[in-house]
Amino acid sequence: MADLGRLAICLALVCAAFAVAASIAGARWRRADLVRSGEHAAYACWGLVALATGLLLQALEELCAAENRRRWPLAGWLPPAPLS
């Protein structure tokens, strides 16, 4: 999961660079299609960052669960704490 999150972040960086370049070029040459393309690339960048956030949070959760199982192997076998 962490590798997919990293890939999504790298793609978001490339997408953001394209969004900036296309928007600047479209504004300079007065081409609405380039500006629109830059806007759509910014939306795609937002989606990639959201995807990467979800993937990296899931990888962190799996890492924490694995660490807890390693440190406390019998924790799942303990009876629930009594209510007082």
- Would you write out the chain's pLDDT as a tens digit for each of its 84 residues? 889 999 999 999 999 999 999 999 999 999 999 999 999 999 999 999 999 999 999 999 998 888 877 777 666 666 667 776
Domain of residue 48, residue span: 2-70
Count of structural domains, the chain? 1
In a domain, 79, yes or no: no
pLDDT at residue 1 in the model: 80
pLDDT of residue 12: 97
- Residue 24 is assigned to a structural domain of this protein: yes
DSSP for the chain, written as a single string: -HHHHHHHHHHHHHHHHHHHHHHHHHHHTT-HHHHHHHHHHHHHHHHHHHHHHHHHHHHHHHHHHHHHHHH-TTGGGSPPPPP-
pLDDT at 82: 76
Q: What is the pTM of this model?
A: 0.77
